[in-house]
Structure 1
């Protein structure tokens, strides 16, 4: 190398922290600067409010798309503390929540695990917003704090008395960061519907007050079993009347799991999977274990009834899962996401736990419901119905 070449040393390295890092590389935190990233910024704020409900501290989450392009997320929890604390290094808990990654309520158990992409929280949204206003109703007083591009304009200020309690965060996505700052009502509605289905007792409302047209509002409630009915609502005829659903806890994977499934007369496999309420379209160990377990239960049932002989090969998971509609949801203490977009669950122990649980629970269901089990096996093995 030439002696005159510019040397590369520590002076050439710039370390970015906090909001500067987020604004410089937003895709690393919300996935993209397009619609996907915009909506993820919304989900990070909604995730905090949802966790309040799951922890029993709040009863509802209300999201509003405002006429001036803002997004307002409100809950009726106790309100984020506004007092300066030692834990926040001289800042209020509210300011820590909005400026420091991973700050926020510590989940009481795995069922209240964060529902954000990586659990970074509202600080990411604040850094990527042109402005943000936080309103806290707590101990009979209303406090307000405003931010501009992630920087606090002033400390939280008491603006008067308040009835009830809760936290409301309103933010305006930064057009200098995002390619579009107009949220899709349909995309938000789909995600909120998922959250309501996956978390029993959670209610989320979504209201759009943007012009033109009249305001529209929907509210989502439900549970995992309702998810199957929703997925099958469009031209899918059940092959058996009962929906199969069960849940379990397994210390080996440090988590819980819930599944709901039903076979239909079509050939399309329609399986939706989630880890800590986060969609995993890339699949992962929970789906591999689920499919192996379903195939194992069906094969065991078929062999016990001599629908498969000793010389027959086991039915493959692909064949068994034809026409299957299912929702697989795991909630783990320490989920490990893989893939470029973090949409694949990688926890190794989950595969074995799901496999064994499906073999046990589905196998028991087939024993207890022989007529419906015959319908399931009959569509997989055409000759089964004549045995």
Structure 2
């Protein structure tokens, strides 16, 4: 079957990579065979070819960016590594392997006294998180010092009618800075959006209600501000939806109005339950 959602900002995906590459080689194992096709600047260089029979499935896409179009085709291992780690956190159970096989990236160990040839070690990382965004919060908080509460608060919810799902993981640490990171279809929404607005509104409203119910705030006291409440908070908000509306100059702000209502309701209910139990 197909995918319920896809991670992208402009709906063009691999077609742009294909159009801007001196060569793209695609290999697909499906329907009992291995299939291949090559492209140059977006145009097939040969017909789709069927090869040997196989029971395996999978897709491999290799591209060579066109040096006449791009000033540089040198890719940063660190940039790719950070993004792939983020993707692994956001897709619970997914394994992503990144290997840099370029000669320039190989660490050279000096030849020993016997005059052996120099040995090369390939630069490689692998990311896999069964805990998903709970592991993401633990990873971020591992550098933040003391924790206010030992366990990460996490919640998941889905509205099948709207093809909308939500995952949130959060934990307060002893620091003073807020670290709330939001994502829509695995895309980091740097400018926030309706999912963040719903989260912040529910959090501020609920914590103030809790503080008043427990007499932590007296009648004459002002409400706690959102900034007060989010001090020391590390949180990951991840929504997946079929038709995301991205706004802002860099298309990194989620604009779907139905998301705010959904997130606000779910966060309020789940967090209220957690507070009652803890």
What is the alpha-carbon distance in structure 2 between the residues aligned to residue 356 and residue 139 of structure 1? 44
Matched, 1:137 2:46: no
The SS at the match of 1:330 is: strand
Q: Identify if the C-alpha distance between structure 1 residues 256 and 160 changes in structure 2 by more than 3 Å, giving closer, same or farther.
A: closer
Residue 116 of structure 1 is matched in structure 2 by 8
Matched, 1:276 2:185: yes
What is the alpha-carbon distance in structure 1 between the residues aligned to residue 226 and residue 22 of structure 2? 50
TM-score of the superposition, structure 2-length normalised? 0.87
TM-score of the superposition, structure 1-length normalised? 0.64
What is the alpha-carbon distance in structure 2 between the residues aligned to residue 249 and residue 219 of structure 1? 30
The SS at the match of 2:17 is: helix
Contact 2:20 / 2:69 at 8 angstroms: preserved in 1? yes
Residue 191 of structure 1 is matched in structure 2 by 83
Residue 246 of structure 1 is matched in structure 2 by 155
Residue 126 of structure 2 is matched in structure 1 by 219
What is the alpha-carbon distance in structure 1 between the residues aligned to residue 162 and residue 29 of structure 2? 39
Residue 40 of structure 2 is matched in structure 1 by 148
What is the alpha-carbon distance in structure 2 between the residues aligned to residue 236 and residue 348 of structure 1? 37
The two structures, once aligned, show a CA RMSD in angstroms of 1.9
Listed as ranges, the matches of 1:302-321 within 5 Å are 302-321=211-230
**Uncovered stretches (5+) of structure 1, i.e. residues with no partner:** 1-54, 56-105, 370-387
Number of residues paired by the alignment? 261
Residue 353 of structure 1 is matched in structure 2 by 262
What is the alpha-carbon distance in structure 1 between the residues aligned to residue 163 and residue 36 of structure 2? 39
Displacement after TM superposition at 1:281 (Å): 0.6
The SS at the match of 1:307 is: coil
What is the alpha-carbon distance in structure 1 between the residues aligned to residue 44 and residue 180 of structure 2? 44
Contact 2:88 / 2:127 at 8 angstroms: preserved in 1? yes
Displacement after TM superposition at 1:136 (Å): 2.4
Displacement after TM superposition at 1:158 (Å): 3.3
Displacement after TM superposition at 1:159 (Å): 4.6
Displacement after TM superposition at 1:272 (Å): 1.1
The SS at the match of 1:311 is: coil
Displacement after TM superposition at 1:162 (Å): 4.8
Displacement after TM superposition at 1:252 (Å): 7.9
What is the alpha-carbon distance in structure 2 between the residues aligned to residue 123 and residue 172 of structure 1? 14
Q: Identify if the C-alpha distance between structure 1 residues 356 and 179 changes in structure 2 by more than 3 Å, giving closer, same or farther.
A: same
What is the alpha-carbon distance in structure 2 between the residues aligned to residue 180 and residue 293 of structure 1? 46
What is the alpha-carbon distance in structure 1 between the residues aligned to residue 259 and residue 220 of structure 2? 32
Listed as ranges, the matches of 1:1-387 within 5 Å are 106-107=2-3, 109=4, 113-162=5-54, 164-212=56-104, 213=106, 214-222=121-129, 223-250=132-159, 254-369=163-278
Q: Identify if the C-alpha distance between structure 1 residues 114 and 311 changes in structure 2 by more than 3 Å, giving closer, same or farther.
A: same
What is the alpha-carbon distance in structure 2 between the residues aligned to residue 210 and residue 262 of structure 1? 40
Contact 2:194 / 2:257 at 8 angstroms: preserved in 1? yes
Contact 2:144 / 2:174 at 8 angstroms: preserved in 1? no
Residue 110 of structure 2 is matched in structure 1 by none
Q: Identify if the C-alpha distance between structure 1 residues 354 and 165 changes in structure 2 by more than 3 Å, giving closer, same or farther.
A: closer
Contact 1:201 / 1:221 at 8 angstroms: preserved in 2? yes
Displacement after TM superposition at 1:282 (Å): 0.6
Higher strand share: 2
1:197-239 CA-to-partner distances (Å, cap 9, x unmatched) read: 1122221111111113121222211111000011112243211
